[in-house]
């Protein structure tokens, strides 16, 4: 497909903007649902300390001890000399009290992965499904959604009751399932799914523009037309300070950079987050669009890359995130990936106040009347993506301004890519429908739609589904397990 150079897209949205509270930057009330978070809250604390806002953060968590530790850390950070804002942190296990009159609600929760996530990875593997991440789609991602959706319906109902005009930002995976569930429960909610995969993609393009075009670029210099669903986003335009990057993208995809192969031995010492973009370059060559999420996520949507087990996946430079990594990640003392607040508070580890690189504060500043800001968001489709049903949660850019977030029109897809995306949308919509009444049999129909599951015969798919239910039953008490036909058939088989 010939790429026609043109100016960066500034198209307005076909959809209606979402409007909510105008933020008062010297008195903002933030309710953090999942306030015991081991990584997101410490990052937020630092961003807020360096922000233009002052206010109060209520950290809600059923694990009140973890929330209290984070509150102590937040107030401790406020005493650092580098802190420029004034914030007060409190911990609570009262959801309604945390949400009461809040201006901003942040959602970031996770169940104990040693009782959930490890099963999402290990049980499908026993059936030959070698998922790379198992966090947002595939059998593991679907079960993560089934655990999470009922809880987030409760959160949406509580927002409706206590702060209906608040700005709600969801960071919990699977972002598309969870954000869709929030709107399914409370259609009037001002909720947005947030993800940094597109930000990392912009970082990658800035690096390429610097290395190959000598532009000394960073993320803020990159503009892209992004569209798709979370972790399966694509771009068809890319610019660096107005310079069209598509010729460079095409050159790299067809040259040595885009045609590398790897062996398991070469990846042995690499992090699970390694990403040489070989899957992305291959899909660009096939479809003339560039995927714009990490390859470890992309392969779970374009599932033919998962075939061949470890060697098949490693060939593209992708490593599987194993259950051992997920279990270790849950223990701060053993994990390099998890922020250790206690070590900072005790002085065991030195602390330096620094920004996280996330964009939430830029969004809040724009909402309060500061400079307009463009970033990627996940929100129900109101026309911003063509060819995908309305109401399904899609990811595009949005223009954030005073008191509004306006998704930008992104256009549609070539038929093959549209078909890939629609399959996953149908899975998401079916599981969300099933969650309204806890209908486990209807959830299984969504499970069967997933391309990873479709590698199995029906009887084995039922067996896999039943094994996951049995392993995670304590987290599925909102589903009608007793009398479910799918489980009875699995037992008979």
Beta bridge partners of 169: 106, 192
Residue 275 lies in a domain: yes
Residue 374 lies in a domain: no
Q: Which long-range contacts (CB under 8 A, 24 or more apart) does 456-463 make?
A: 456/127, 456/128, 456/129, 459/489, 459/493, 460/127, 462/486, 462/489, 462/490, 462/493, 463/127, 463/490, 463/493
Total-model pTM: 0.94
Phi, psi of 321 (to 5 degrees): -85, 105
| Strand pairing category for 87-92 and 55-60 | parallel
Residue 439 lies in a domain: no
Residue 205 lies in a domain: yes
CA distance 152 to 173: 11
Residue 227 lies in a domain: yes
CA distance 393 to 387: 13
Residue 445 lies in a domain: no
Give the pLDDT score at 4.
40
Whether a cis peptide bond, with omega within 30° of 0, leads into 174 is yes
Longest dimension (CA), the chain: 66
Measured from the Cβ of residue 455, the count of other Cβ atoms closer than 10 Å reads 15
Residue 6 lies in a domain: no
- How many residues make up the chain in this entry? 493
| Strand pairing category for 104-107 and 167-170 | parallel
| Residue 237, domain extent | 197-319
CA distance 128 to 303: 13
Give the pLDDT score at 493.
67
Residue 231 designated active-site: no
CA distance 455 to 76: 52
Per-residue DSSP letters for 304-371?
Answer: GGGTTHHHHHHTTT-----HHHHHHHT-GGG-SSS--HHHHHHTSS-------S-SHHHHHHHHTTSS
Give the pLDDT score at 16.
61
CA distance 380 to 407: 10
Place of tokens 């393009």: 205
Residue 146 lies in a domain: no
CA proximity to 303, closest of 279, 287, 277: 279
Identified catalytic residue from 3, 119, 127, 196: 196
CA proximity to 322, closest of 177, 135, 196: 135
Give the pLDDT score at 113.
87
CA proximity to 376, closest of 186, 256, 200, 168: 200
CA distance 226 to 228: 7
Give the pLDDT score at 152.
98
CA distance 212 to 217: 11
Number of domains present in the structure of the chain: 1
Give the pLDDT score at 339.
66
Cβ atoms of 156 and 185 within 8 Å: the answer is yes
Q: In the numeric block, which tokens belong to residue 430?
A: 């079916």
**Tens-level pLDDT at each residue, the chain (493 residues):** 344 443 444 444 455 667 777 788 789 999 999 999 988 999 999 999 999 999 999 999 999 999 999 999 999 999 999 999 999 999 999 999 999 999 999 999 999 888 999 999 999 999 999 999 999 999 999 999 999 999 999 999 999 999 999 999 999 999 999 999 999 999 999 999 999 999 999 999 999 999 999 999 999 999 999 999 999 999 999 999 999 999 999 999 999 999 999 999 999 989 989 999 999 999 999 999 999 999 999 999 999 999 999 999 999 999 998 777 776 666 554 444 456 898 999 999 999 999 998 899 999 999 999 999 999 999 999 999 999 999 999 999 999 999 999 999 999 999 999 999 999 999 999 999 999 999 999 999 999 999 999 999 999 999 999 999 999 999 999 999 999 999 999 987 6
């Amino acid at each position: 497909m010939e790429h026609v150079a043109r100016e960066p897209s500034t198209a307005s949205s076909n959809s209606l903007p979402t409007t909510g509270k105008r933020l008062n930057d010297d008195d903002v009330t933030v309710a953090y649902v999942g306030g015991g978070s081991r990584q997101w809250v410490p990052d937020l604390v630092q961003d807020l300390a360096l922000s233009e806002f002052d206010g109060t953060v209520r950290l809600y968590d059923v694990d009140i001890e973890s929330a209290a530790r984070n509150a102590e850390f937040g107030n401790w950070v406020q005493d650092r000399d580098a802190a420029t804002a004034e914030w007060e942190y409190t911990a609570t296990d009262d959801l309604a009290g945390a949400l009461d009159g809040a201006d901003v609600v942040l959602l970031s929760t996770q169940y104990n992965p040693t009782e959930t996530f490890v099963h999402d990875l290990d049980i499908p593997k026993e059936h030959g499904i070698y998922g790379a991440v198992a966090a947002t789609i595939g059998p593991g991602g679907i079960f993560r959604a089934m655990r999470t959706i009922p809880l987030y319906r409760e959160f949406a109902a509580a927002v409706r009751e206590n702060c209906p005009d608040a700005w709600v930002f969801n960071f919990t995976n699977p972002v598309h399932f969870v954000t869709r569930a929030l709107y399914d429960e409370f259609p009037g909610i001002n909720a947005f799914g947030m993800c940094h995969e597109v930000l990392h993609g912009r970082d990658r393009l800035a690096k390429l523009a610097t290395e190959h075009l000598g532009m000394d670029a960073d993320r803020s210099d990159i503009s892209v037309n992004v569209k798709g669903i979370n972790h399966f986003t694509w771009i068809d335009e890319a610019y660096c300070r107005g310079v069209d990057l598509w010729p460079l993208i095409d050159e790299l995809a067809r040259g040595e950079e885009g045609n590398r192969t790897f062996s398991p031995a070469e990846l042995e010492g690499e992090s699970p987050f390694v990403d040489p973009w070989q899957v992305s370059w291959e899909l660009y060559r096939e479809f003339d669009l560039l995927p714009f999420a990490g390859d470890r996520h992309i392969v779970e949507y374009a599932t033919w890359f998962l075939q061949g087990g470890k060697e098949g996946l490693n060939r593209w430079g992708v490593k599987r995130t194993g259950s051992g990594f997920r279990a270790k990640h849950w223990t701060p003392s053993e994990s390099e990936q998890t922020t250790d607040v206690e070590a900072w508070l005790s002085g065991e580890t030195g602390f330096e106040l620094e920004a996280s690189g996330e964009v939430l504060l830029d969004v809040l500043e724009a909402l309060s009347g500061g400079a307009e800001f463009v970033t990627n968001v996940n929100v129900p489709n109101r026309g911003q993506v063509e060819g995908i049903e309305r109401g399904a949660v899609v990811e595009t850019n949005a223009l954030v301004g005073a008191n509004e977030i306006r998704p930008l029109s992104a256009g549609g897809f070539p038929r093959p890519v549209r078909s890939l995306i629609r399959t996953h949308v149908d899975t998401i919509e079916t599981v969300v429908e099933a969650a309204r009444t806890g209908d486990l049999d209807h959830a299984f129909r969504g499970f069967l739609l997933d391309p990873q599951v479709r590698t199995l015969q029906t009887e084995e798919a039922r067996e896999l589904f039943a094994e996951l239910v049995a392993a995670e039953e304590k987290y599925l008490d909102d589903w009608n397990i007793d009398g479910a036909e799918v489980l009875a058939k699995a037992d008979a088989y």
